[in-house]
Every structure is written in structure tokens, then in C-alpha cells.
């Protein structure tokens, strides 16, 4: 008997050439059940720890990124059960958002509900020209529970986020690009390759500086300007203790820009 759990089969981590691909593979819809949610969080933390991972790509199938949570499973939960599980759900997605490395979502087809929320956890979203986004939880009598009311509002603004959450309507790729929900739209056949190419540029890069940059932007967006500037000042000064800083500046002086070979230390 195999000791591989269904969650391990449905959420896979593939690492090659410094890029990790977090792949959702649960049937046609990639409905995110509780086991998958936990697995996503675990693998996100693993990506953060691994020295052989410079950047992360999150992707689903060719036709569906993830069509949301597993509603059949969710329908059977009591209030007490969801009080307990909601923290697990948010924690798993927050783990993705806090991977201290560049993260890109490669979105084909539907990214709805929890699928849209998972894409929102990435630093960048590359979508197929036929991709569809939405937070339709309101039609189930609930609201987004994995960060949709928060990350969406920070990305597209409160008014647009409210309209999408209040109505639960779907958004095509062109509209998603116009409102800033996605960053790039490409033909469906090119989504994963485009995302991988974006991620590969960070292999061999200054890992500590990339980590600091991400933390400054993310944390700075949660606080007032003065506090954000202090976060930046501390991170900027701290990087002067790194080997990469010395390497980068020496290379610039001796060879010109863009020639440095970093160690990630």
C-alpha cells in the first residue's frame, strides 16, 4: 500500500534549475479541500527554507487554475468546525504570500473563490487570455475567507474589490489586466512558459536583497509611511553585512553593471 496521501498527489512540488513549481492536480476543477489547503501551506514553507529554490511558480491545469474550495466538504461543516479551520485556511495562504522569494501565479482557465485568493498571494500574476477570475462566495451566503476581502482590496482598491465581492461576478482576463488584478496576459499555451521565464531570472540572484525588497514592499503596505521608511532603512543598512553586497558593488566598479555573480550570502 502506498503511503502517499491524496493531498500529496493533488499538490506537488517540482524543483528544477532553481525554480520551484507548486502544481495543483486535483481532477478537472482543482477544488481546494482542507487537505490540499494544509499541503499548500506546508510546501510554501518548504520553498522558503530550501536553498535550491530561488523563485516559485504556482500553477494548476491547462483549463482550470483552481475553481475554489471544495463546497461539498465545506457544506458539512458546523460553525464550530469552521471557527477552527478558518485559521488553518488563512494560515496556509499566508504561508504562500510570505515565501521570502519571488512568486508568480500562472493562471489558465478559472481562478475562482479560493483559487483567486491563492493567485492573489503571489507577487505577480500571469494569465491566459481566456482566464476568468472571481470571488463568488456571496452567492453561497458567505464571504471570501482566505484573504480575498483584504488582498484584493489592496491590489485593485476598495471600491473595485467591494463591487467584485458584493456581486460575485466573474472577470475576464482583459478586465482583470485593466484593473490591476493580473500583471500580464498571454496566449493560453504560453502561460506556464512565460511564468517560468520570469522566475528563472532570479536564479543566481542576490537572494537576501530580494527577500528584503519583498518584505519592505509587503510590510510597508500595512503601515504608515514613516514606519515603512524605517522598515526600508533597516533592511537597506542590514544588506551591507552581506557577501552579495560586497560582490555586487565590487563587480560594478570593476566590470560595470549587471555582471555580478552572487552567492546568496
Where do the domains of the chain lie, and which CATH numbers do they carry? Answer: 6-200 (3.90.226.10), 207-255 (1.10.12.10)
The pTM assigned to this predicted structure is 0.92
Provide the pLDDT for residue 5. Answer: 67
Selected catalytic residue, list 9, 117, 232, 254: 117
Provide the pLDDT for residue 3. Answer: 45
Helix axes 243-255, 207-220, angle to 10 degrees: 110
Contact yes or no for 94/60 (Cβ under 8 A): no
For residue 163, indicate whether it is catalytic.
Answer: no
E strand or H helix at 244, and its extent?
helix 243-255
Selected catalytic residue, list 14, 137, 163, 222: 137
**Burial of residue 254 (number of CB atoms within 10 Å: 0-12, 13-18, 19+):** exposed
Provide the pLDDT for residue 110. Answer: 96
Give Cα 202 to chain centroid, integer Å: 16
Give strand pairing partners of 24: 11
For residue 230, indicate whether it is catalytic.
Answer: no
Q: How many CA atoms lie within 13 A of 45 on its CB side?
A: 9
Q: DSSP assignment of 129-168, as one string?
A: TT-EEE-GGGGGTS---SSHHHHHHHHH-HHHHHHHHHH-
| Residues in the chain, pLDDT under 70 | 1-5
Four-CA torsion 222, 226, 228, 232, nearest 10 degrees: 180
Provide the pLDDT for residue 4. Answer: 53
Amino acid at each position: 500500500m502506498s503511503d502517499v496521501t491524496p493531498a500529496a498527489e493533488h499538490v506537488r512540488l517540482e524543483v528544477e534549475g532553481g525554480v520551484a513549481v507548486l502544481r495543483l492536480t486535483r481532477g478537472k476543477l482543482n477544488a481546494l479541500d482542507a487537505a490540499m489547503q494544509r499541503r499548500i501551506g506546508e510546501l510554501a514553507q518548504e520553498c522558503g527554507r530550501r536553498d535550491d529554490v530561488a523563485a516559485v511558480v504556482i500553477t494548476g491545469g491547462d483549463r482550470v487554475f483552481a475553481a475554489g474550495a471544495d463546497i461539498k466538504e465545506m457544506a458539512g461543516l458546523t460553525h464550530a468546525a469552521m471557527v477552527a479551520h478558518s485559521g488553518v485556511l488563512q494560515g496556509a495562504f499566508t504561508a504562500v504570500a510570505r515565501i521570502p522569494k519571488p512568486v508568480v501565479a500562472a493562471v489558465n482557465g478559472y481562478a475562482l473563490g479560493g483559487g483567486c485568493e491563492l493567485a492573489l498571494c503571489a507577487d505577480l500574476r500571469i494569465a491566459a487570455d481566456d482566464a476568468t477570475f472571481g470571488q463568488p462566495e456571496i452567492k453561497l451566503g458567505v464571504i471570501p475567507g482566505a484573504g480575498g476581502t483584504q488582498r484584493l482590496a489592496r491590489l485593485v482598491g476598495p471600491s473595485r474589490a467591494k463591487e467584485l465581492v458584493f456581486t460575485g461576478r466573474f472577470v475576464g482576463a482583459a478586465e482583470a489586466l485593466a484593473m490591476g488584478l493580473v500583471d500580464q496576459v498571454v496566449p493560453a499555451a504560453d502561460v506556464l512558459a512565460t511564468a517560468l521565464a520570469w522566475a528563472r531570472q532570479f536564479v543566481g540572484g542576490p537572494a537576501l536583497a530580494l527577500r528584503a525588497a519583498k518584505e519592505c514592499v509587503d510590510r510597508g503596505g500595512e503601515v504608515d509611511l514613516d514606519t515603512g521608511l524605517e522598515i526600508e532603512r533597516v533592511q537597506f543598512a542590514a544588506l551591507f553585512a552581506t557577501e552579495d553586497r560586497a560582490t555586487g558593488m565590487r563587480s560594478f566598479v570593476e566590470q560595470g553593471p549587471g555582471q555580478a555573480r552572487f552567492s546568496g550570502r
